[in-house]
């Protein structure tokens, strides 16, 4: 049991034991399926936990110069690059130490081809399989007007000379059935290219560590595909799955505002600044010790600390067996992936601290943030 009174508020709290459990499961998949799984930094970039992660995963994938530097400096191993558009001024530094690079368009490949071929990096193209099970449009990479990846008719019958791999990312917290459908689409639209390449990167969005995920079916799907293309090195690059259910965001009730229908609990955190996926997806986060209210039960709505009118949990309210009091702890579950990587300091709101609960139960405060962190982002 974690003693939250010993942890500053607000604070992202990673539980290392749960992270290890996820990584052991992911490692078993890559070994049984004969594939390589790497860490997508866009979903989880808590480098203080990298000493644990790199015991199981062989590298990282980066979508920016800064992510690439973080992967090189703090993780090592394979470094895969995929940026929607590369920049001349960044390219020489970006590609240093990279092992794989994917281009989002044929024009980008032509522009950077000569510089790429002078390095040891293996080049590939991102493809659009024209299929995605993702429903929120903001997270759908394969919509008809998507800017992500090359459609089959644009690629033609033959890959450009020098291309060694294909990269496909069309999932988001998806299951093994969605992966199976994706591979069917790849074979249908791009199957004639598969004998020409060395590697196939199937991107992220594989929610392997969810309790409902069918691991055996995943291994079966990948094994069958590899039997048809034994020469291919298959990569997956999940971000959410690595840090899924591995920690929380600890917050505190600062005020209680009564309205005609419910009570708004004002917290020392912000949805727009600290939990943006709750508003973007949107989804209702779980709160430890709370449940959905029944009719005539007191309802609490969680309110964020910024002055943005929409900075509150609008996807549903909560019921607490014991009425909330100012000073009470609120624990938002599963707040490690796609939180710290997306936060802002909008309104000058203090950024939550970052800490790790070790396997022996001790809490390690990794980082706190102050005024200089806010000021240094401005001018």
How many Cβ atoms from other residues are within 10 Å of residue 371's Cβ?
9
Reduced to 3 states (helix: H, G, I; strand: E, B; else coil), residue 110 is helix
With a CB cutoff of 8 Å and minimum separation 6, the contacts of 176 are: 206, 213, 214, 215, 217, 218, 221
How many Å apart are CA 271 and CA 264, to the nearest integer? 14
How many Å apart are CA 12 and CA 336, to the nearest integer? 7
Pairing of strands 300-303, 263-267: parallel
Report the helix count and the strand count for the chain, using DSSP H and E. Answer: 12, 18
How many Å apart are CA 279 and CA 171, to the nearest integer? 20
The conformation of residue 341, written as its DSSP 8-state character, comes to: G
Whether the link from the prior residue into 341 is cis, omega within 30° of 0, is no
Q: Give the distance, in angstroms, between the CA of residue 29 and the centroid of all CA atoms in the same chain.
A: 19
Q: 354, 340 in Cβ contact below 8 A?
A: yes
Reduced to 3 states (helix: H, G, I; strand: E, B; else coil), residue 121 is coil
The conformation of residue 104, written as its DSSP 8-state character, comes to: S
Reduced to 3 states (helix: H, G, I; strand: E, B; else coil), residue 205 is coil
Q: Categorise residue 301: left if φ over 0, alpha if ψ from -120 to 50, beta otherwise.
A: beta
- How far is CA 211 from each of CA 40, 175, 228, 246, 282, rounded to the nearest angstrom? 21, 11, 29, 13, 21
Q: Give the distance, in angstroms, between the CA of residue 100 and the centroid of all CA atoms in the same chain.
A: 20
The answer on whether 317 is annotated among ligand-binding residues is no
Helices 16-33, 215-228: crossing angle, 10 deg rounding: 30
Residue ranges for the known binding site are 277
Binding-site entries for substrate: 277
């Amino acid at each position: 049991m974690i003693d939250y009174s010993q942890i500053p508020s607000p604070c992202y709290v990673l539980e290392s034991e749960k992270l290890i459990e996820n990584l052991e499961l992911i490692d078993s998949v890559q070994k049984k399926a004969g594939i390589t799984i790497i860490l997508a930094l866009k979903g989880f970039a808590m480098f203080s936990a990298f000493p644990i992660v790199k015991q199981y995963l062989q590298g990282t994938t980066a979508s920016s110069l800064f992510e690439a530097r973080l992967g090189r400096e703090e993780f090592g191993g394979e470094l895969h690059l995929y940026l929607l558009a590369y920049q001349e001024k960044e390219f020489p530094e970006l590609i240093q130490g990279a092992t794989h690079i994917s281009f989002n368009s044929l024009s980008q490949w032509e522009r950077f081809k000569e510089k790429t071929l002078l390095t040891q990096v293996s080049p590939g193209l991102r493809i659009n399989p024209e299929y995605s099970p993702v429903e929120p449009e903001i997270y759908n990479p394969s919509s008809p007007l998507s800017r992500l990846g090359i459609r089959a008719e644009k690629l033609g019958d033959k890959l450009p000379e020098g291309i060694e791999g294909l990269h496909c990312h069309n999932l988001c917290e998806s299951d093994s059935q969605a992966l199976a459908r994706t591979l069917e689409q790849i074979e249908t639209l791009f199957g004639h290219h598969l004998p020409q390449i060395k590697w196939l990167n199937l991107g992220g969005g594989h929610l392997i560590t969810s309790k409902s995920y069918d691991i055996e079916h995943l291994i079966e799907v990948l094994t069958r595909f590899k039997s048809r293309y034994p020469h291919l090195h298959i990569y997956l690059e999940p971000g959410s799955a690595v840090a899924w259910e591995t920690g929380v965001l600890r917050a505190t009730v600062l005020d209680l505002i009564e309205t005609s229908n419910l009570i708004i609990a004002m917290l020392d955190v912000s949805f727009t600044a600290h939990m943006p996926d709750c508003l973007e997806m949107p989804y209702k986060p779980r709160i430890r010790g709370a449940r959905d209210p029944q009719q005539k039960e007191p309802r609490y709505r969680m309110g964020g600390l910024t002055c943005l009118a929409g900075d509150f949990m609008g996807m549903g309210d909560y019921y607490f067996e014991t009425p909330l009091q100012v000073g009470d702890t609120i624990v938002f579950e599963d707040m490690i992936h796609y939180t710290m990587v997306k936060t802002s300091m909008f309104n000058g709101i203090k950024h939550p601290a970052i800490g790790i609960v070790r396997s022996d139960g001790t809490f390690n405060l990794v980082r706190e943030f102050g005024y200089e962190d806010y000021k240094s982002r401005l001018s």
